[in-house]
Structure 1
């Protein structure tokens, strides 16, 4: 049944990263554009934390300017950075959000990519709202459009198609068949 499937997916033992084939991650030094872009090109999508401002709720299409981000640089939301591009002289990052296909450009956002991402910075005075921990610093320096350079990591998975990957990515649930565990 659907309830059984949800219980299985929510079970702490089956929800561990290793059970979906994730073997670890590489976190980048804070506010370093070069390493993040290199990983994006060489390894694939990068998980990034951003300062999503109120304008994110109303985004439908186009290239969002940094003014649409939280102007206080409070890092509060995670998205997947999966590419970059440009239209004429306007450059942008390609981001995948978790708010569903009805948000933005079918669940995606084009965020303005600045010429000097590492120099566009501000103090996040509420790091605990995002990736900060209790007892950590009371403020952190975040750079890039929406602060996307501050906290970035690349997940590492078992090779796709390997026996170990398939065993860890799929689990059999008797009443509903095979349930995908892909991230």
Structure 2
């Protein structure tokens, strides 16, 4: 009994089912084999990617995220108040440092002057608030009535926790 298939080699060295040699059959078979092997490798790679991270990987990722947040908090706390105020004013105005650099000298001078004025105003507001806080009470304006509220103090640990939570919330919103 003789079994024949499309890839059987005939005595003459031809590929096929015993007919004339067809060079395209071998090339097509090789291309098909390569495609099947590549598909198998891709499915293996994608199944490996879909595996959930191990406990150690999750712990390492959490530690890296915590270290990054801690460094961001340290960087934030090390900046002087004036820098924070300048950044806040510029954000309100819709101006970035790159925008300032691209302005003409006269426009830049005007923008810098406006930014400096608003920063001074905020610093004076903080100074006034600080003087009120030193007496133990702050006055909040709600409409036309004044409400007295006790001054609130935070420990460094509580402040760090508040900042960490705030940065995490901002990160989720972005």
Same fold (TM over 0.5): no
Rg larger for: 2
* Bigger fraction of residues in helix: 2
Greater RCO structure (CA 8 Å; 6+ sep)? 1
TM-score (norm: length of structure 2): 0.22
